[in-house]
Structures are given as structure tokens and as C-alpha cells.
Structure 1
Amino acid sequence: MAEILERSGYLVKVRVEVPADRVKASYEALLKDLASRVRVPGFRPGKAPLKVVEARLGREALLQDLKERLVEETYPEAVRELGLSPVAARVVEQDLKEGEGFRYVAEVENYPEVRLPDWRSFALEVSPPEVTEEMVEKALEELRQRYAELVPVEREAQEKDHLFVRTEEGAEFPIDLAHALPHVREALLGKKAGDVVMVPVLNDKGEKVREVRTEILEVKTLKLPELDEEFAKTLEAESLEDLKNRVRESLKRQAERAYEEARERAFLEKLAEGLEVEIPPSMLRAEERHLLEHLAEDLYRQGISLEAYLEALKEKGELEKFQEDLRKEAEKRVRIALAREKLAEELNPEVSEEEWQAYLQAAARAYGVSVQDLRRQFGEEGLARLKERLRQDKAVQEALKALG
């Protein structure tokens, strides 16, 4: 039997009573389980009488194991019976006496109740997209840069040149001065093919530890193609004017996507900010752990451990600010997730089979696997979460459409 003793926001205090016959049956099952695994001198494995096993392990230790087993068995039943959706819980009181039932009290952090703000009155301050001729010209210039060729020049090296060099060890490689380390760039600027330069090597503290004799084999510069009819045709455009129109239309599509994404971000942030909710601390801690795990993965790819990164922040006196920013980001993400969930509950959009299959195919492409492999990897629970995300996406789009 389970009952709610107290309820305050997300925190619910629950009392659970387990009848004596169930306690006795669980104790006997525990003893039999342990008897099959515990070695007792003078008996073959699993053949020692239960009373002998009980005496060897100790009554107190067995009763502690029994309490843990009974909580594990009955807690899920109790929260289902009471209609709770726990996100965390801890046992605060326990009472188990010989020949009687078992009673315990648990403090449950229940999934929070959420109330949305009046989102239909939102005014989203997002400027509509505008594609200017300056943007078109810039995009065309970037195309020229992309199709530029490196050509040799008979002059001294300049800021954006590429140098081909040979070191005293015989290694040959190119150096892009625009992206070279400052001390390397300084040593090579103004030099020309045939020159020999001593390039410094610095340690982690920026101190010179040695110099490498480096011969400049060739100086090259980027030669941009002319923006003319011929260049347009290399890009499969009918003419230069056609190329400009294509670039303009592409920029408009990009601007429209960026505009829609900005409206969605502004809507969700406004929705989350106005959300009436008391978030259980365990949900915030879980999201903080999730963010740290992602950070650890990013740092690992750079050859840095999370511990070393946090220690460096501590040395610079920036750890407290990092932790505060982490808490704020975790709360923002949890609030947005709760807002999306509640909005989908309110609007209740339907996901057609056609939409679901298209979504699965897009997800499979993103993961680089087949739909069949995606289904197998995600399993039933994972697919259910994926479908719920699609339903929430639809709810957000419906809300944005209603706002006009």
C-alpha cells in the first residue's frame, strides 16, 4: 500500500507499506539466492542449509540487503499506483521489525508541472531577410577565391603568399603566410626564392629554443579568375548575369532559412523565459553532466582532458564563472525542453506515417546509416523519443505559423 504524505511543488513525500507475508517471501528468496552463490566450509556450493548461510552472513547484514531489495521491488509499483512520474528519489525513513511488515518513506522529485505563458500574444523581434547587391558581390568574390590558382612570382613574399620551403633536414612543404604562426611569418616575409632563412622554434612559453635553417624554393600567390562570361560558364551558368541571379537566389534561400531559424530560437527562448515551472534540482544536475560530457568529447578531439581544462580555468580564476555559465545554460536547455513538451501537449499535432518515414530517412542520412540500421540502433524507446521530437517540432512550427 502506498500513500502521499506531503506534496509541495515537485517534491512529494510517499509512504509505502509492505505486508509481512511479502517481507517473509522476499527474505526467503534472498537467502536462497545467496545460498546458491556463497561458499560455506563443509558444504558443496549451493548445498548449505539456509540457517547455516544465515548464521555465516549475519542477520543484520541480511536485513539490510532485504530492505534494499524490498525498496527496489516496491518503489516502482508505488509510484505507478500514485500516478507519479519521478525523476529522482531517496529513502528518508525505514522500519523493519521481526515478523512484521516493512514500512519506508521516500522523498520523490516528481516530474514538474508546467504552465505555458500566453504565447499567442508574443511579438518576435526578428528582422525579415534582406539580400543586398553588396552581399551578391561578396559571394561572387568568394567564388573567385575558391577557384583561384597558385602561380609563381619573382618578387619578395607578401602577407597572403604561399611559400614552398626546404628545411636543413631535407623536408619540403608549403607555408601559407596568412595562417602561419606569427614568428614564422615574421621570419619569411620579404624573402624571395633562393633565400636562406633561420626560422625560430619556440617552446610552450614562447621562448626560442633553436633555429631551423630554411631555404625558400618558390614564392606563389593566388591568382583570381576574372569575373566574366568564361568564369560563369565554368560554374555551369549560361552567362555572367545568370550566375549573378543564381547567387542572388541562393542567398535569398539561405537568408530565409536563417530567418526561420532565428524566429524559432526567439520563440522558444521567449516561451522558456515565461514558463511557470519549479524545476527539480536533479534535472538540472543531469543536464549539467550532459553538457560536461559533450565538452569532454570536444576537448578529447583536441588532445585535452576535461580535468586539465578545468584545472587551467581554476589557475586563471575563471572556474567559478564557468560553473555559473554552465548552470545557466543547463537551466535554459531544461526550460526549453519542458516548453516544447508542453506546447506539443497543448497543440497535439498529428504525425502522419509519410512524415515519420521522411524524418527517419533524414535522420539515417545524418547518421550515415540505413533506415533499418537506425531502427536497430535506436530500439523501440529511442524511436519513440525520436517520434516525440518530430511531434514537438511540428507543434513549434504550428505555433510560429499562428503568430504569422
Structure 2
Amino acid sequence: MKSTLEPQEGNKVKLSIAVDEAEFEADIDAAFKRIAREVRLPGFRPGKAPRKVLEARIGLEAARGEAFEQAVPKYYLEAVEEHDVDVIAQPEFDITAGQEGGDVAFDAVVEIRPEITVGGYDSLRVTIPSPDVDPSEIDDRIDRLRESFAELESVERPAQTGDNVTIDIAGSREGEAIDGLTADDYLYEVGSATIVPELDEKLVGAKVDDVVEFTADHPLPDEDPVDFKVVVKAIKEKVLPEADDAFAAEASEFETIDELRADLETRFGMVKKVQASMAVQQKTAEALADLVTDEVPEALVSQEMQQRLEDLAMRLQAQGVGIEQYLAQTGQDQEAFVGELRESAAQGVKVDLALRAVAVAEGLEVSDDELEDEYAAVAERVGQKTAQVRKQLERNGQVSAVRSDLRTRKALEWLTEHVELVDEGGNTIDRDSLVVAPEPSEDDGPEAEAPEATTEDE
């Protein structure tokens, strides 16, 4: 087999493939063997009829057609591998010679992954959540803890947001009470908006024994409006304990409020560092996609959509939920869901193409050792030996794809190491501030040295 590669318009290439008659004869012979397994001839068991007998009975033309159907895709894939063509769609075949006899020749026109350039990738600036803990954030967390220890005390004043009121509430439509919207001595927090927003509006400023009446939309969609009658029977305000040592001792394992604050700051600080670190890659990818001005191929977008849909279906299946149930539970219609899926898929394609461009621009390559490490990682995930995984990938012609994925991964790592990081206020973030210090183990004595901190990218 011989093949040549020729660029075409529209991000396509043409592979011209020629197979001499002697080589194609083996494909014709294989076609006769396949036909023999399906044709029943007197005196021969299935699959045992000689080629000469079959050729005399059905003719050479049928076997040659069968050979073309099976051999053309095979020779095409060999040419793709020979020229290292990164195809992204199904080819269009055109048989140019050999349909009736002699040497075989055909063309295959196929769309390939475009190679793009992205300007400005080396000076990206991304905004991520600050990894630093603001004292007000600790105050808020302590206040939420105080809320859980709050006591309710009756007050003589009108109700305010945050108060707890005891009410009789009656929801009705045309005089008929509605189940779930009628209750006596119901304790309700003003401002919680857990029934209808109008209830909170009417309760603010209300006094004990006041009766408020109003009409509001039903809490459930597609239901008719509801008439409400509410009687205010008691008003109580929350009294929070003082944020002092006594509170700390009651609400935690710490004896002082300073110790409690220090622990909250440490734990919340770890969470913020992790959140900020996770945002680096996501925000970097988003910023990189914004640099792509080329139109992305529809074939790649469709493939990405299909992959994301399959991933979602598998996750939902593990929970015993189907796509239709998921859409119903999330309140999405199919058209909006497909639109969002297409948008996110197109974004993903842009990121992938841009990362490939960065890898080329920065000369990032994947060594054989790194490839072997990837085989080992895959083998561990699927519970096979590394040699088995390597052999299977080589047999399926997927080694180039694995190497390419590793290159894009390295490109993203390179970018996350070089982008400028700022917080919401535009302040520069030092990468060292994203490092989460390891907790000392129980075996570490007081003289044990803390291990040297490293970033995730090292």
C-alpha cells in the first residue's frame, strides 16, 4: 500500500491510497472465506466450500465488492497512522480505480483537528477567591454558632425581621382550606421566606392580636393564587449568648473564645486555600478560551456534547435517575438543557485547542517515561497490569491520543504556574499562600521538623 497526503479547503485533508492487485488479492480471498460461512452449497459444510466453487457459483464481482467494503476502511486507518493525521470526523471515500479488476486506488477526504494560535496566553491574569481569612468571616461563623444557642424571649414591640412569631395561618381558595397552608400555633421566623414572600412583608410591623389578610401566589408553580389569613399570637426575639469564654466552653471543646477563633481561622483558612487552588485551573481555562477567536469545528463540539451527555447519564444512572427525571427535578426544559450543553461543550473545545497551541508554542513534549507513568496510572484504575494497558492502547492505535492528552495537561500546568493571580479586589495573590500545610501526625514528636511545603504543580 502507498499513500499521499494533500491539504484541502475547510480544514480537511485528502488521503490518496493505492493498493497493488497482488496485495488486494488477499482481501478478495478473505472475502470469499467470509461468504463461504454464509452460503450453503450441496456437498460442503458451512465455510468449507473452495474459492473456485464459490467463484463459479456467485462470481468474482460479489467477493470483490465485499473486499472493498472491508478493506478500504482498513487501508484508510493505516494511512491515517502513517501520516499521523488527527481526524475528527468520518471520511468521505471515493473509489478511483480497481472496482472491476487490477490495482485498487481510492481517496479519503476527512476533517482534521485545526491548529490554532492564541495570542496573550503568556500574560494571562485571572481572578480567584482570596485564600486569606478576613476577621469578619470568623465573626460571621461565630455568630452562626451563637444562633444555634440562642434563646427566644417575648417582646412588647411590633415584629421585626429575625423575630420568631407564633401565628395561626389559614390558606384557602374560594373559602376551602388548603392542606399544607393551614396551621395553628405555628412558629415562624420573620424574613425566612419559607412560605410566601408576602407573609414576611405583612408580618414586619405587626403586633400581637393583629390579623393580616392578603392574596399571594401558591408556593408551588402552576397553582392558582391563595387567600391567606394570619393571626399574630406572640412575638419573640432571639437573644444570642455573648461571644465570651463561657460561650466557647459550652459550644466547643475550647476553654476560651480566643482558642475557638484560632481554630475556626485555621480550619476555614484551609478550606479557602483549597477553594482558591481549585479555582486556579478553572479560571485559567476560562481565560484561555476567551483568547480563541477561531470558529471551532462542529464535529468537535458534537463529540464533546456526546461525551458530556454520556458522563452525565452514567452519574445519574448510578443514582437511579434518568435524564428526563433529572430535567424535571432541576426545572429545565430539553431545549434549554441542550443549549447549555452545547455552550459548555464549545467552551471545552476552545480550551482543548488552545492548550494544544500552548504546548506547541512552548515546546512541551511528553517523554517515554511520562507515557509509561500514565500507562501505570491507567492500569491501577482499571485493575490491570501496565503491560496489558500498553499493549491494548498500542493495538488500538491510541498511543498518540494518550500522548496528546498528556501534552495538553502539561500545557495547563505550565499556564497555572505562569498566570497572574489576583483576588476580587485586584490584589496580587502569592502562590505560596495557596499551600495547605500538612497536619502533624501523632507520631511526630515536639522535635519533629515540618515537611517542606510544595505546591500542587511541583
With the shorter chain as reference, the TM-score category is 0.5 to 0.7
Whole-angstrom distance in 2 between the partners of 1:30 and 1:21: 15
Whole-angstrom distance in 2 between the partners of 1:373 and 1:5: 40
| Residues 75, 319 of structure 1: alpha-carbon distance in 2 compared, 3 angstrom cutoff | same
Whole-angstrom distance in 1 between the partners of 2:375 and 2:142: 36
1:333 equivalenced with 2:348 (yes/no): yes
1:280 equivalenced with 2:288 (yes/no): no
The answer for the alignment partner of 1:391 in structure 2 is: 410
Q: TM-score, normalised by structure 2?
A: 0.59
Q: Report the Cα offset of residue 15 of structure 1.
A: 1.7
Q: Report the Cα offset of residue 327 of structure 1.
A: 1.9
2:124 equivalent among 114, 122, 138: 122
Tell whether the 8 Å contact from 1:3 to 1:15 is kept in structure 2 after alignment.
yes
Whole-angstrom distance in 1 between the partners of 2:135 and 2:408: 39
Higher mean alpha-carbon deviation, 65-74 vs 268-277, is at 268-277
| Residues 139, 357 of structure 1: alpha-carbon distance in 2 compared, 3 angstrom cutoff | farther
Q: Report the Cα offset of residue 17 of structure 1.
A: 1.4
Q: Report the Cα offset of residue 110 of structure 1.
A: 1.4
> SS at 1:92's partner residue?
strand
The answer for the alignment partner of 1:247 in structure 2 is: 264
AA aligned to 1:335 is K
| Residues 227, 265 of structure 1: alpha-carbon distance in 2 compared, 3 angstrom cutoff | same
Tell whether the 8 Å contact from 1:113 to 1:277 is kept in structure 2 after alignment.
no
> SS at 2:89's partner residue?
strand
Whole-angstrom distance in 2 between the partners of 1:21 and 1:29: 13
Whole-angstrom distance in 1 between the partners of 2:370 and 2:91: 42
Higher mean alpha-carbon deviation, 346-355 vs 318-327, is at 346-355
| Residues 35, 387 of structure 1: alpha-carbon distance in 2 compared, 3 angstrom cutoff | same
Tell whether the 8 Å contact from 2:5 to 2:15 is kept in structure 1 after alignment.
yes
The answer for the alignment partner of 2:275 in structure 1 is: 258
Q: Report the Cα offset of residue 103 of structure 1.
A: 1.6
The answer for the alignment partner of 1:168 in structure 2 is: none
Structure 2 matches for 1:160-175, cutoff 5 A? none
Whole-angstrom distance in 1 between the partners of 2:49 and 2:268: 80
> SS at 2:308's partner residue?
helix
Tell whether the 8 Å contact from 2:246 to 2:255 is kept in structure 1 after alignment.
no
Tell whether the 8 Å contact from 2:125 to 2:419 is kept in structure 1 after alignment.
no
Q: Report the Cα offset of residue 278 of structure 1.
A: 5.0
Is there any run of 5+ residues in structure 2 with no aligned partner, and where?
Answer: 151-162, 167-177, 188-219, 225-237, 423-427, 429-458
The answer for the alignment partner of 1:135 in structure 2 is: 137
> SS at 2:419's partner residue?
helix
Whole-angstrom distance in 1 between the partners of 2:369 and 2:118: 30
Tell whether the 8 Å contact from 1:10 to 1:113 is kept in structure 2 after alignment.
no
Tell whether the 8 Å contact from 2:17 to 2:105 is kept in structure 1 after alignment.
yes
Is there any run of 5+ residues in structure 1 with no aligned partner, and where?
Answer: 150-157, 162-182, 193-202, 208-221, 365-370
Structure 2 matches for 1:182-331, cutoff 5 A? 185-188=180-183, 190=185, 229=245, 232=248, 235-237=252-254, 239-275=256-292, 277-297=294-314, 299-300=316-317, 305-306=322-323, 319-331=334-346
| Residues 231, 45 of structure 1: alpha-carbon distance in 2 compared, 3 angstrom cutoff | farther
| Residues 355, 29 of structure 1: alpha-carbon distance in 2 compared, 3 angstrom cutoff | closer
Question: RMSD of the alignment, in Å?
Answer: 4.9
| Residues 186, 56 of structure 1: alpha-carbon distance in 2 compared, 3 angstrom cutoff | farther
More helix by share: 1
AA aligned to 1:137 is D
Q: Deviations over 1:298-346 (max 9, x none)?
A: 5546765335777x79xx9954444333222111011112223333444
Whole-angstrom distance in 2 between the partners of 1:401 and 1:359: 29
Structure 2 matches for 1:374-389, cutoff 5 A? 376=384, 379-380=389-390
| Residues 224, 392 of structure 1: alpha-carbon distance in 2 compared, 3 angstrom cutoff | farther
Q: Report the Cα offset of residue 39 of structure 1.
A: 3.4
| Residues 389, 124 of structure 1: alpha-carbon distance in 2 compared, 3 angstrom cutoff | closer
Whole-angstrom distance in 1 between the partners of 2:53 and 2:84: 43
1:97 equivalent among 96, 99, 106: 99
AA aligned to 1:140 is I
Tell whether the 8 Å contact from 1:114 to 1:276 is kept in structure 2 after alignment.
no
Whole-angstrom distance in 1 between the partners of 2:356 and 2:54: 52
Same amino acid, percent of matched pairs: 26
1:47 equivalenced with 2:48 (yes/no): yes
Whole-angstrom distance in 2 between the partners of 1:274 and 1:280: 16
Tell whether the 8 Å contact from 1:299 to 1:306 is kept in structure 2 after alignment.
yes
1:111 equivalent among 110, 113, 127: 113
Tell whether the 8 Å contact from 1:89 to 1:106 is kept in structure 2 after alignment.
no
Whole-angstrom distance in 2 between the partners of 1:317 and 1:265: 25
Tell whether the 8 Å contact from 2:125 to 2:420 is kept in structure 1 after alignment.
no
Q: Report the Cα offset of residue 53 of structure 1.
A: 2.9
> SS at 1:124's partner residue?
strand
| Residues 308, 90 of structure 1: alpha-carbon distance in 2 compared, 3 angstrom cutoff | farther
Tell whether the 8 Å contact from 1:36 to 1:47 is kept in structure 2 after alignment.
yes
AA aligned to 2:15 is V
Q: Report the Cα offset of residue 288 of structure 1.
A: 0.9
Q: Report the Cα offset of residue 358 of structure 1.
A: 12
Tell whether the 8 Å contact from 1:120 to 1:402 is kept in structure 2 after alignment.
no
Q: TM-score, normalised by structure 1?
A: 0.66
Whole-angstrom distance in 2 between the partners of 1:242 and 1:105: 76
Give the length in aligned residue pairs: 343
> SS at 2:410's partner residue?
helix
